C-alpha cells in the first residue's frame, strides 16, 4: 500500500505558507534544490502537478489547493500524537555554538520548529569559527557544538556528515580568471585555510579582496562582484551557487561534527542534536 511522506507534505505546506521554494527552504533550513526534489517526489507519487510557475513564483495548482488542507490535517495529527506521548515537556536552557554559515542557513527554520515543539526550552546561540568554538577555553561555555573538522583529525564528537567544500559565487557575476578575487572569513577559518592551501599549489594569481566573519557580509560582497568564496555544500545559502571552473582547484572534504557536552540537560541536548542531524542530512 502506498504511503505519503510526512516530510514531503510538510515541505509542500511550507512552500504554500511561506510563498515559494526559496522562502520555504529558509524556513525549513534546506536548500532550494532539496525543496524542489521533495515536491517532485510528492508529485510523482500522487501523479498530480501541485504547483504552477507564474513568473518567478510557484503557485498551488487546483490539485495543490485541494491537497493543502488535507496535508495540514495530517501534519497536525502527527504533531499532536507526538505531543501527547511526550512523557514530560522539556524545559531548561541550552547553549549552542555553531559556525556562522550554518547559523544563517540551518537555524532559522530549525529554531522555529524546535521552539514551537518545546516552548519551555531557552536556546542561547553563539556563532563563531569552529576553531574558536572548540578551543579548550571556550568549550565549557557550550552544551552543544556544531563544528567543522578536518577529516584527518581524531575527535571526541560525532561525525554527522562528511561534506564537500565547494567554490561559491553569484551566478550573475563573471569569474575573473587572470587574478582570482577571494571573499573570505578571517584567519582561523577552515574554508580560508583550505582555499589558500590549494591556490598556493598552482601558478594562477589570486588576492583577498574582502574579509568578514559573518556570512551575510560575505554574501553581500560576492553579490557586489568582489570575488568568490568557499563553503560546505550543505551550508550554501539560496542566493549563491556552486562554481565549477578549470581555474578553481578542488577543495576536498570536511567533517561536520556535533559535540554534545551537556551533563545537566542531556535530553534537551539529544533532542536538539536529532533536529540538527535530520536537517543536515536532508540538505545533503
What CATH code is assigned to 6-85? 1.10.10.10
Quickly state the pLDDT bin for 89 (edges 50, 70, 90): low
Give the pLDDT confidence score for residue 228 in this predicted structure: 93
Cα dihedral across residues 271, 273, 279, 281: positive or negative: negative
- Give the model confidence (pLDDT) of 28-50 as tens digits: 888 888 888 999 999 999 999 99
| Residue pair 231/101 in contact by the 8 Å Cβ criterion | yes
Query: Could you give the CA distance from residue 16 to residue 87 in angstroms, rounded to a whole number?
Result: 33
Segments making up each domain of the chain, as ranges: 6-85, 91-284
In CATH, what class is 91-284?
alpha beta
Tell me the C-alpha to C-alpha distance, in Å, between residue 91 and each of 98, 111, 118: 21, 15, 7
Mean pLDDT of the residues in the chain = 87
Residue 228 pairs in a beta bridge with 182
User: Who contacts 103 (Cβ-Cβ below 8 Å, separation ≥6)?
Assistant: 125, 127, 215
pTM score > 0.75 for this model? no
91-284: same fold as 6-85? no
Compute the residue count for the chain: 284
| pLDDT the model gives residue 224 | 92
Q: Is 136 exposed, middle or buried (0-12, 13-18, 19+ CB in 10 A)?
A: exposed
pLDDT band at 253 (very low <50, low <70, confident <90, very high): very high
**In the numeric block, which cell numbers belong to residue 262?**
551537556
Rounded to 10°, the helix 21-28/6-18 angle is 120
Amino acid at each position: 500500500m502506498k504511503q505519503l511522506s510526512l516530510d514531503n507534505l510538510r515541505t509542500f505546506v511550507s512552500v504554500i505558507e511561506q510563498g515559494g521554494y526559496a522562502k520555504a527552504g529558509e524556513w525549513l533550513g534546506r536548500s532550494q534544490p532539496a525543496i524542489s526534489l521533495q515536491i517532485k517526489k510528492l508529485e510523482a507519487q500522487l501523479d498530480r502537478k501541485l504547483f504552477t510557475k507564474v513568473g518567478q513564483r510557484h503557485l498551488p495548482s487546483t490539485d495543490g489547493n485541494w491537497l493543502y488542507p488535507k496535508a495540514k490535517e495530517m501534519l497536525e495529527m502527527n504533531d499532536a500524537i507526538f505531543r501527547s506521548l511526550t512523557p514530560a515537556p522539556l524545559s531548561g536552557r541550552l547553549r549552542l555554538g555553531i559556525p556562522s554559515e550554518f547559523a544563517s542557513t540551518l537555524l532559522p527554520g530549525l529554531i522555529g520548529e524546535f521552539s514551537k515543539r518545546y516552548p519551555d526550552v531557552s536556546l542561547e546561540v553563539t556563532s563563531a569559527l569552529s576553531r574558536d568554538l572548540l578551543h579548550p577555553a571556550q568549550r565549557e561555555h557550550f552544551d552543544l557544538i556544531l563544528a567543522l573538522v578536518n577529516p584527518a583529525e581524531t575527535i571526541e564528537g560525532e561525525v554527522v556528515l562528511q561534506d564537500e567544500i565547494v567554490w561559491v559565487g553569484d551566478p550573475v557575476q563573471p569569474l575573473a580568471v587572470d587574478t582570482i578575487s577571494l571573499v573570505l572569513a578571517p584567519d582561523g577559518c577552515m574554508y580560508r585555510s583550505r582555499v589558500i592551501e590549494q591556490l598556493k599549489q598552482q601558478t594562477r594569481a589570486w588576492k583577498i579582496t574582502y574579509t568578514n566573519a559573518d556570512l551575510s557580509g560575505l554574501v553581500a560582497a560576492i553579490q557586489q562582484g568582489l570575488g568568490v568564496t568557499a563553503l560546505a555544500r550543505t551550508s550554501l545559502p539560496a542566493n549563491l551557487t556552486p562554481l565549477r571552473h578549470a581555474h578553481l582547484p578542488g577543495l576536498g572534504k570536511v567533517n561536520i561534527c556535533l559535540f554534545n557536552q551537556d551533563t545537566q540537560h542531556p535530553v534537551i541536548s539529544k533532542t536538539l542534536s536529532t533536529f540538527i542531524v535530520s536537517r543536515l542530512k536532508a540538505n545533503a
